[in-house]
Amino acid sequence: MNGSGTNAAVIVAAGRGVRAGGDVPKQWQALRGRCVAAWTIDAFRQAPSVDIIVLVLHPDDMERSAEFPFAQAVQGGSTRAASVRAGLESLARQNVSKVLIHDAARPLVTQRIIGDIMTALDNSPGAAPALELTDAIWRGNDGIVSGTMERTGLYRAQTPQGFRFDGILAAHRSHAADAADDVEVARAAGIHVALLPGDERNLKITRAEDFARAELALGAGMDIRTGNGFDVHAFSEGDHMMLCGVEVPHDRGLSGHSDADVGLHAVTDAILGALAMGDIGQHFPPSETRWKDADSRIFLEHAVGIAVDRGYRIMNIDLTLICERPKIAPHVPAMAGRIARLAGVPPDRVSVKATTTERLGFTGRGEGIAAMATATLTSE
């Protein structure tokens, strides 16, 4: 979360998209088993810099907001500019400092672009991704080439287009006409917009053939990795223990060089395993005194950071705690939420559950707790 306010994303999904064909608007058509808008929204849910998502819908589509309960649904207007303004107005009282405005029909937006735009807004009132034109540019008339244009300094605009919130809200309030995009509105208000590198994959679905391109891009070169983690800690003296980043009251603690958080240790090893990067002990040797009593979130954040640096994002985490006591179920929501925040994933992509060994073995005898975790990572 930004220190001076929250960061928001306004996803514009109020258009009808008739050029794409189909029985429903393009944003609601299927793309690899999910609607286009679901892919788009999920990209922003994965972004750690985005705190609030506003989904701007056509009046006929408002019931679809139930599919995205984590987003704030707003009814759009008769033009794109009117729809964007409706989304911005809904944020006016929510202490927003930065906002990204994105077309729902761009389902392949990358985490790199989202992060770059947010970072650029620290030093510029506006920032937008674009691709420099590399092909020759022709003019045409009646199906015949009628001239050429100099392509130097020409770019293909993309979204999300990011702005400091107060500036773009004021710009939209004073802009009576429609606009091709929000950069046009911003420039009309005198807002400087920085150009950032776009991405060819960040295509906009406009025509029917674009679905095939998006399908190909979603599958092309995707690297899917799965890793497993297992950890054990014995009980020790104490009146509580740390499990999955949550303090759990108990008549015993857990013994370990760090805070002995068996859950976070297993998840960390699962992520490192998926990356073929060894285990937690190789990255944080117990022989080093600086890790004594360390908060295990440090270990998990380290593994997540490696994944991000290598171009991966965490798709889901599944953790099982194995013990006779303490009772885990009352703490599951807090545990899953804590892991989700540390890993930078939506809560519905983290599973925490518990089981026993029917009083068999060291966990059955109440000597300690074991944990096993699985993490799945995909490349951008």
Residues 185 and 307 in one domain: no
Residues 19 and 158 in one domain: yes
Residues 261 and 354 in one domain: yes
For position 289, which CATH number holds? 3.30.1330.50
Q: What is the pLDDT of residue 2?
A: 41
For position 195, which CATH number holds? 3.90.550.10
Residues 204 and 245 in one domain: no
Boundary residue ending a domain (219, 236, 271): 219
Residues 83 and 188 in one domain: yes
What size, in residues, is the chain? 380
Q: What is the pLDDT of residue 379?
A: 80
Rounded-to-integer distance, Cα 211 and Cα 140, Å: 27
Residues 196 and 320 in one domain: no
Residues 176 and 135 in one domain: yes
For 64-75, how does the pLDDT look when each residue is reduced to its tens digit (9 = 90+)? 999 999 999 999
Residues 200 and 272 in one domain: no
Q: Which two tokens stand for residue 226?
A: 């799965």
Residues 20 and 161 in one domain: yes
* DSSP code string of 208-254: THHHHHHHHHHHTT--EEEEEEEEEEEEES-SEEEETTEEEE-SSEE
For 37-80, how does the pLDDT look when each residue is reduced to its tens digit (9 = 90+)? 999 999 999 999 999 999 999 999 999 999 999 999 999 999 99
**Is residue 1 domain-resident?**
no
Rounded-to-integer distance, Cα 102 and Cα 237, Å: 53
Q: What is the pLDDT of residue 104?
A: 96
Residues 326 and 206 in one domain: no
Q: What is the pLDDT of residue 242?
A: 93
Q: What is the pLDDT of residue 380?
A: 60
What is the number of structural domains in the chain?
A: 2
Q: What is the pLDDT of residue 176?
A: 87
Q: What is the pLDDT of residue 220?
A: 56
Q: What is the pLDDT of residue 289?
A: 86
Domain span holding position 353: 224-379
Residues 256 and 147 in one domain: no
Positions in the chain short of pLDDT 70: 1-4, 219-222, 380
Residues 269 and 329 in one domain: yes
Cβ-Cβ contacts under 8 Å for 310 (sequence gap 6 or more): 275
Q: What is the pLDDT of residue 1?
A: 37
Q: What is the pLDDT of residue 221?
A: 57
**Is residue 287 domain-resident?**
yes
